[in-house]
Amino acid sequence: MRQKIVAGNWKMNNDLAQTEDLLGQIKNQWQEKEGVRVIVAPAFTNLHHAFESLRKYSIDVAAQNMNENSEGAYTGEVSARMLTSIGIKTVIIGHSERRAIFKETDEVLAKKVNAALENDMEVIFCCGEELSERMGERHFEVVKSQLEKGLFQVSEENWKKVVIAYEPVWAIGTGETASPEQAQEMHAFIRKTIAEKFGQTLANEVAILYGGSVKPENAQEIFAKEDVDGGLIGGASLKAPDFLAIVNAF
Ligand code: G3H
């Protein structure tokens, strides 16, 4: 049985007071949903607070990024060890905003994945094509290349600590969601690509999340698809009732 996961990526939203408020609302309305793992990813400055605040709840806290180096003269950056020292054991790597805005290359992402795994962290590795790539029918090729260059260096043993998030860039924050069929088609392709390299047994165990304008209204239909193991939620994760409704969509 694969893990089912609903993760909220809060991106660069919420100062400390707003974080406290959102966490308070989540906790007030929280009812554990059996078999579904819930993760929230606040900004760096609020990670410690979120971790302490959620200690008694079965909600994990993830970072949205980290640096690939262990320490040194990298002004403004945060290392895996800094994250684990405050209890953070999961990190999102390769989000399309990191790739596009901060120019993170496949090579850098591969190093980040390795650094996270070396520090015994879990990685949520994001992949997904841009609109022009889908229009040009290159979406499978693009996602395969992102996986091969950023993730396929991972040893079989370490795949236990890898979750994949498929996020078509054209569906992020746009209100336009991939259809459940489009999501399923890509998720099945990702699983097949992993199977070809690492074997079907390993591929069957990897959780693959869908991200891109998931809301309470469409979550159930998307999560019902065979190869969709949950969601990486942006905008809707900033409202506790919507986020929890998505958790309950399983
Ligand atoms: O990490 C989350 C994704 O970028 C999805 O964002 O739900 O606002 O479209 P969204």
In contact, 82 and 48? CB cutoff 8 Å: no
What residues are labeled active site? 95, 167
ipTM for the whole complex: 0.99
- Beta strands (DSSP E) in 42-137 are 59-63, 90-93, 122-127
Torsion of Cα atoms, 122 then 167 then 132 then 136, to 10° = 90
What is the number of the ligand 1 atom nearest to the C-alpha of 165?
A: 1
Does 235 carry a binding-site annotation?
yes
Rounded CA-CA distance 24/12 in Å is 19
Residue 183's pLDDT is 97
Task: Indicate the number of domains in the chain.
Answer: 1
Residue 175's pLDDT is 82
Ligand 1 mutation pick, 167, 237, 246, max ligand atoms within 8 A of CB: 167
What is the number of the ligand 1 atom nearest to the C-alpha of 212?
A: 9
Closest CA to 95 of 190, 209, 243: 209
Residue 165's pLDDT is 98
* Ligand 1 center from residue 231 Cα (angstroms): 9
Closest CA to 50 of 77, 12, 86: 86
What is the rounded end-to-end Cα distance, in angstroms, of the chain?
15
pTM over 0.90: yes
**Where residue 154 sits, what CATH number does that domain have?**
3.20.20.70
Residue 1's pLDDT is 81
Give SS3 for 246.
helix
Give SS3 for 58.
coil
Residues in the ligand 1 pocket, defined by CB under 6 Å: 9, 95, 167, 172-173, 211-214, 232-236
* Ligand 1 center from residue 97 Cα (angstroms): 10
Residue 105's pLDDT is 98
What is the number of the ligand 1 atom nearest to the C-alpha of 235?
A: 8
Query: What does the pLDDT profile of the chain (250 residues) look like in tens digits?
Result: 899 999 999 999 999 999 999 999 999 999 989 999 999 999 999 999 999 999 999 999 999 999 999 999 999 999 999 999 999 999 999 999 999 999 999 999 999 999 999 999 999 999 999 999 999 999 999 999 999 999 999 999 999 999 999 999 999 888 888 899 999 999 999 999 999 999 999 999 999 999 999 999 999 999 999 999 999 999 999 999 999 999 999 8
Domain around 177: 4-248
Does 239 carry a binding-site annotation?
no
Residue 176's pLDDT is 82
